[in-house]
Amino acid sequence: MIDIKFLRENPEIVKENMRKKFQDEKIGLVDEVIELDIQNREAKAKRDSLRSMRNTVSKQIGMLMGQGKREEAEAAKKQVTDAAEELAALETKIEELENEVKNRMMVIPNIIDESVPIGKDDSENVEVERFGDPVVPEFEVPYHVDIMERLNGIDLDSARRTSGNGFYYLCGDIARLHSAIISYARDFMIDKGFTYYIPPFMIRGDVVTGVMSFSEMENMMYKIEGEDLYLIGTSEHSMVGKFINTITDEAELPKAMTSYSPCFRKEVGAHGIEERGVYRIHQFEKQEMVVICKPEESMDWFHKMYSYTVEFFRTLDIPVRTLECCSGDLADLKVKSIDVEAWSPRQQKYFEVGSCSNLGDAQARRLGIRIRRKEKDNYFPHTLNNTVVAPPRMLIAFLENNLQADGSIRIPEALRMYMGGKEVIK
């Protein structure tokens, strides 16, 4: 959610930002907000004037009664009563106007960074850089489920019976590999100076609407029936929500946190759920990084954060590239976003394994997260999030890139201590 003061003073910038995001249907919201905001400020000015008049007249009543001016006192009492009724009506009107303004402001997209490439959808995202040489081995690379099944590492049929499509049982060395990658990612980020968290896996509705747009919420979140609780789609939701309605001393910034959680997603939309595979699923686990920082430091953190994911994947001998999201592919709260994609030898192309996003002060503004600055006004910090690793999707890249001709899986040195010293899975 952008600052309404910015919208008042720069309506054409907000409209042009919508055009860059190919959201022309929202442009009318800007003028609606401006008109509603004018009405709201006029109503507040009238309310304040009435309150002042009521207080002045109320003080006069006792004096008039003491002077024996009963009729004038009664007239003053009526004036106070009438003012109270008008004030009540004004308070209702102000509340309605503020809700109307808020509802529109919540769907007006954040102002994207000037460096974001302009494009309609993800087909126009721009490759930034490649790391590692993508290799296609001379032997055939099977589908990832076939690799797992040959190693007795996955059971999709049982999961289909217990839970439906989009779920899985991992077992044996593949399950161990999954946990090893998460443990390695945890320690990798701790070594980078991040504080480790295990957050709540359910959050309240006001946190959900604070951390994401309505369209994302509808397509992603599972709601707990009969309760004001949602299963998280990523631990970013809990970690940013941790600071809802708080004021933090500036000296405590930046807050650099890495968090583990299971993630639950409806995956509603064009992508759908695969019947056979673990690329797009309803339940997975993830190691995340979240930073809350000063606005002037957020772009430095942005570049630092996605570079950590690149470094992590390269320690596991997986070639990756970074892909900048174009304007039309950015969610409404995001200022800038870069995806990290891993090389698939089987498909001979890259696929997404993580995403790094700078959300400016949008989440902080929605959630009431403020920073206390000495001898200056409080301000809203910037929030950023990035995937360290999200198996089992990442397992696809890991298995394909570390597959050997005999069907075994090589374990890179960085991971061996988490696999009990194993150098290979057979």
Residue 58 domain-assigned (yes or no): yes
296, 271: one domain? yes
Handedness of CA 66, 71, 75, 78 (dihedral sign): positive
CATH number at residue 86: 1.10.287.40
282, 334: one domain? yes
CATH number at residue 332: 3.30.930.10
Mean pLDDT across the chain, nearest whole number? 93
Handedness of CA 412, 415, 421, 426 (dihedral sign): negative
Residue 23 domain-assigned (yes or no): yes
Q: How many CB atoms lie within 10 A of CB 142?
A: 16
66, 158: one domain? no
Task: Please list, in sequence order, all residues whose beta carbon lies within 8 angstroms of the beta carbon of residue 90, skipping any fewer than 6 positions away.
Answer: 43, 46, 47, 50
Question: C-alpha angle 213/325/329, rounded to 5°?
Answer: 45
- Boundary-marking domain end, from 105, 135, 151: 105
Residue 115 domain-assigned (yes or no): no
- Boundary-marking domain end, from 80, 105, 130: 105
Handedness of CA 21, 24, 29, 34 (dihedral sign): positive
358, 401: one domain? yes
- Boundary-marking domain end, from 72, 105, 138: 105
Residue 370 domain-assigned (yes or no): yes
- For residue 399, how many C-alpha atoms fall within 13 Å in the half-sphere facing its CB? 29
276, 219: one domain? yes
393, 289: one domain? yes
Buried b (16+ CB within 10 A) or exposed e, 117-128: eebeeeeebeee
- pLDDT reported for residue 84: 85
Question: C-alpha angle 284/335/327, rounded to 5°?
Answer: 90
Residue 114 domain-assigned (yes or no): no
Residue 111 domain-assigned (yes or no): no
95, 129: one domain? no
Q: Tell how strand 169-170 and strand 154-155 pair up.
A: antiparallel
203, 136: one domain? yes
291, 151: one domain? yes
**Stated length of the chain:** 426
- pLDDT reported for residue 426: 93
Can you give the pLDDT of all 426 residues of the chain as single tens digits?
899 999 999 999 999 999 999 999 999 999 999 999 999 999 999 998 888 888 787 777 777 777 777 777 778 778 878 888 888 999 999 999 999 999 999 999 999 999 999 999 999 999 999 999 999 999 999 999 999 999 999 999 999 999 998 899 999 999 999 999 999 999 999 999 999 999 999 999 999 999 988 777 777 899 999 999 999 999 999 999 999 999 999 999 999 999 999 999 987 555 556 667 888 889 999 999 999 999 999 999 999 999 999 999 999 999 999 999 999 999 999 999 999 999 999 999 999 999 999 999 999 999 999 999 987 899 999 999 999 999 988 999 999 999 999 999 999 999 999 999 999 999
Q: Is the pTM of this model over 0.95?
A: no
Residue whose structure tokens are 């100076």: 193
Supply the range of the domain harboring residue 192.
122-425
51, 146: one domain? no
Residue 361 domain-assigned (yes or no): yes
Q: Which two tokens stand for residue 132?
A: 């590692």
Structural domain total, the chain = 2
270, 307: one domain? yes
Residue 56 domain-assigned (yes or no): yes
**What is the 3 state secondary structure string of the chain?**
CCCHHHHHHCHHHHHHHHHHCCCHHHCHHHHHHHHHHHHHHHHHHHHHHHHHHHHHHHHHHHHHHHCCCHHHHHHHHHHHHHHHHHHHHHHHHHHHHHHHHHHHHCCCCCCCCCCCCCCCCHHHCEEEEEECCCCCCCCCCCCHHHHHHHCCCEEHHHHHHHCCCCCCEECHHHHHHHHHHHHHHHHHHHHCCCEEECCCCEECHHHHHHHCCHHHHHHHCEECCCCCCEECCCHHHHHHHCCCCCEEEHHHCCEEEEEEEEEECCCCCCCCCCCCCCCCCCEEEEEEEEEEECHHHHHHHHHHHHHHHHHHHHHCCCCEEEEECCHHHCCCCCCEEEEEEEEECCCCEEEEEEEEEECCCHHHHHHCCEEECCCCCCECCEEEEEEEECCCHHHHHHHHHCECCCCCEECCHHHHHHHCCCCEEC
- pLDDT reported for residue 181: 97
95, 8: one domain? yes
